[in-house]
Amino acid sequence: MSTADRAEGQATRGSGRFISGVVEGFYGRPWTMEQRTELFKREQKWGLNTYLYAPKDDYKHRTYWRELYSPEEAEQLIALISAAKQHEINFIYAISPGLDITFSNPKEVAALKRKLDQVKEFGCRSFSLLFDDIETEMCPADKKAFSSFAHAQVDVTNEVYLHLGGPEAFLFCPTDYCAAFCTPSVSQSSYLNTVGEKLLPGIDILWTEEVSSVLKRAPVIWDNLHANDYDPQRLFLGPYKDRPTELIPKLRGVLSNPNCEFYPNFVAIHTLATWCKALPNEGSKDVEMGDEETDPGYSPQKALTLALTDWLQEFMSTDQSGGPCRPARLKKVSSDEEPMQTDVDENPYVPGPGENPLYTAEPLTMDDLNLLSDLFYLPYEYGPTARSMLEELNWLKNHRQAAAAQTDETEEWHSKAQRFDGRCEDVVQMFNRLSNAPNRSILYDLYNYICDIKSGVGLARAYVKTLGGQGRPSSLLMSDDPEPWGFRGGLSGEFQRMLPGHGNKDLFKDPPMTQVYFIRSYAKEDKTEVQKIFEEMQREGKDQSPLTQPPLISDRLSAGEIPPSPQCALVLEDEFGICGFALALTDAKPAAAKIQRAVSDSLFKDFPSLVALKVLPRVTDPSPAKRMIGQLLSSVRSSGSRGAFCELRQGDRRMLDFYSKLGSFKPFQTDGLPQDVVVMATSL
């Protein structure tokens, strides 16, 4: 049979049931064989159907991809593939040869086939080629053989796919696997267009967004929502969300690449399973990842409650594998066993009068798990309780004068301080009950994180008590390194950044050595202060700009003449008050028409959103502005926008320098641009 005939015969493969499950694709210590087997049980129970084997730290998956598995390794993989089949889970073996493969060398392609043939002998019937996180520069030999990097990858992938004789599933992960990597955009990416046109139709493509039109097929989403391998101090226990169920008919599948720690992924996988079962609304409404509209087919909060309810049972189980709940039973020690631990002491200790009572561990509660999820929610979002604690701490810090002297706010200050202290105590008690939960396997995966948050909350609690005159200054020390890596990550880091001390001195005795900033959502009452900042910055730059200036959309937005889009406005505060702002319009085209500003359609096509950022000169540290623009772009991205642009005057050297150093914003040349205006844009 010719290659063309074989390709035609296999062209219809790949269309089948919706792929749903887990990809083990993170950097760091891989899961154990026992944990993977436990995952298969969970997936089967919750209605998921796929496991993609792609741990970055399995050397023979990535770094030493040419090497065959040893007999011992083969035995483990055979058992794992068998366990997946036993639980009706499709085991997809992925290999990542992209670090050093020479695509034009037949021996390299033969080595790739030989490796996959070995895994096929283990019983595996589904495969994946991954070309993510690699250099895009081809070697001289490949440059002679292929017209582009995409052609090289597609040529080898098609050949391997045909060699395998029509696998049950075959996934391809492109090098440009998200919009941020596409040049100049997703729709105009020559790499993606080549992949979409040349890759055999039976091959599914892994992607992080919905891009069916470019890839010429429905993608399989590799979802990094709960991935934490990029920050060892963060963990994500929030629900699967911001993915509208209307996407389901437009996708081939969804695979979650979750936390590195196995047991805390209970929530991520459980809520993904609930999402996959949701029935999307009828109709053909265009939707994208991150659509913020209410989804009647799926409630993240209800899905979270279901997951936490089941997880609580697992916490209270003594099954150390983290399996299904079973009642706690301690074994009876026989007479010939070493009595290291027993069920019931025949002569239990009874405290006497005036002595300390015996310690009794309180059982873990749903409130504890809800709080735990709130504290470790999602990459761009804290849970409601965590947000409230941050807002309360910021208010108490900014109104600390009310604690020291009798003012109209004194009673309110002490009331808020008491409520904040109560929430801090809830965190401590949550920690205590988690530490005593019977299932130690889950605890050991969580322990470093809950210790860290307990420490951060403890510092904030002591600070508030000191402000209220209820405690002595703390002697706890912080790093004297003001750079971001000197702080703790996640919510604990947020608490630390709000505290006024970074030097090797007493935390609360001396004034802060560096300025402390706070970023919060824009409120209606902030409008006047934002206008003042805009006007001050205008006055500062008037000598550097022409007398007659063309209207800028960002000027009207900053001046309050055009309101920002919902959830797309932030302000920056220091101890003196508001010192900066970041505003955005998710769709700037109507605003341009309103002020009769001529803007090229080519700009709005790929960069429909506009951002405006202003920071007063007294903010000399660029870090707060970087964090603020990062949060703003995240909100804009969540609205479904493909890209954003900013308008700058050539005389505004400070902001030109800021956006240039960010790295993500690039100058955009467009017709009709006023002579003194520079447009910079970034894909989202």
Q: Which residues are annotated as catalytic?
A: 133
CA distance 447 to 456: 14
**Facing residues of 130 across strands?**
173
Tokens for 638?
A: 């969540």
What's the Cα-to-Cα distance from 417 to each of 388, 412, 576, 622, rounded to whole Å?
A: 12, 8, 21, 31
Peptide bond into 384 cis (omega under 30): no
Inter-residue contact 475 to 404 (CB < 8 Å) = no
How far apart are alpha carbons 463 and 470 in whole angstroms? 10
Give dist(CA 563, CA 332) in Å, integer.
70
HEC secondary structure over 565-612:
CCCCEEEEEECCEEEEEEEEECCCHHHHHHCCCCCCHHHHHHCCEEEE
Question: How far is the C-alpha of 325 from the C-alpha of 315, rounded, in Å?
Answer: 8
Residues 6+ apart with CB under 8 A from 556: 562, 591, 594, 595
Output phi, psi for 569, to 5 deg.
-150, 130
Round the CA-based radius of gyration of the chain to a whole number and report it: 29
List the one residue out of 223, 197, 195, 218 whose CA is nearest residue 208: 223
Please give the single-letter amino acid code of residue 262: F
CA 330 – CA 349 distance, rounded (Å):
19
